[in-house]
Amino acid sequence: MNFESYQNIRFERRGRVLTAVFNRPDHLNAASGEMHRELGRMFVDLREDPDSDVIVLTGAGKAFSAGGDFALLLEQNENPHLLHAAVRESKEAIFGLLECHKPIIGRVNGDAIGLGCTLALLCDLIIAADTARFGDPHVKVGLTAGDGGAVIWPQLIGFARAKQFLFSGDLIKAPDAAAMGLINFSVPAEELDSKVGEWADRMAAAAPLALQTTKTLVNIELKRIAHAMMDAGMAYEAMTMTSADLREAIGAVRDKRKPNFVGR
């Protein structure tokens, strides 16, 4: 596969294990416009790669991914026509991940926020450093949690807890996330690579067809839910993407003050 065309994601091979690394460490791997476009096609390329059976998804530097870049959000707020591409790319990323028949391990090396959190939680096995945190702060910045958070959180921890964290945007430390079933493992940071390697090797040694079809079978219901919700979710998020509340939230973050939301 031609992975050299990617500017914001790099790829590493170890035997039949292929690692995709979000590679904007100076921006906590938040998705710029170009990275967002790359995410829209990445999982199809990973699926079609003939030289891998297992995928590891991780981030460079100290974060897994901080979600959407503020510069991108402001650009979309001021130019609503850009939202059409963003909606398509988000759906392509989410459904591409769900449709990928290869097992995907989320190696969560640091904070997974917003879209970054959604991508981590949609992985088939989620292994996090105990210093990592998980959260979906869409509502805190005036946005609908429409790009997959409202799909996956209730499936993992139930509706009551999902609403608690989606409404508040509170961050969950990895050990607490593991205890409540949001992720599979929380391990000391220095043990993250060995734990991920252990499971990657274990999956690579399994019968590929049996493993892949089992994943496909388990994901049938999750894909049904995603198909039922994503169009509405992205429409609501696009609506809030053009709001004054989003501009106020970003300004408040930059000015280090509390936002004053007006509901429009």
Report the CATH fold assignment for 3-208: 2-enoyl-CoA Hydratase; Chain A, domain 1 (3.90.226)
Sheet holding 17-22, edge to edge: 9-14, 17-22, 54-59, 104-108, 125-129, 185-187
Domain map of the chain by residue range?
3-208
* % residues pLDDT > 90 (the chain): 84
What is the pTM (predicted TM-score) of this model? 0.95
Pairwise CA distance, residues 68 & 62, whole Å: 16
| Helix, strand, coil share (%) of the chain residues, nearest 5 | 55, 15, 30
Question: Which pLDDT tens digit goes with each residue over 150-198?
Answer: 999 999 999 999 999 999 999 999 999 999 999 999 999 999 999 999 9
Question: Which pLDDT tens digit goes with each residue over 232-253?
Answer: 999 999 999 889 999 899 888 8
Question: Which pLDDT tens digit goes with each residue over 19-32?
Answer: 999 999 999 999 99
Model pLDDT, residue 206: 97
Check pLDDT > 90 for residue 96: yes
Model pLDDT, residue 70: 76
Model pLDDT, residue 253: 83
- The DSSP 8-state label assigned to residue 182 in this structure reads S
- Whether 126 and 156 have beta carbons less than 8 Å apart is answered as no
Per-residue confidence at 225, pLDDT binned at 50, 70, 90?
Answer: very high
Using left for φ > 0, alpha for ψ between -120 and 50, and beta otherwise, residue 67 falls in left
Separation of first and last alpha carbons in the chain: 45
Q: Report the chain's C-alpha Rg in angstroms.
A: 18
Model pLDDT, residue 69: 79
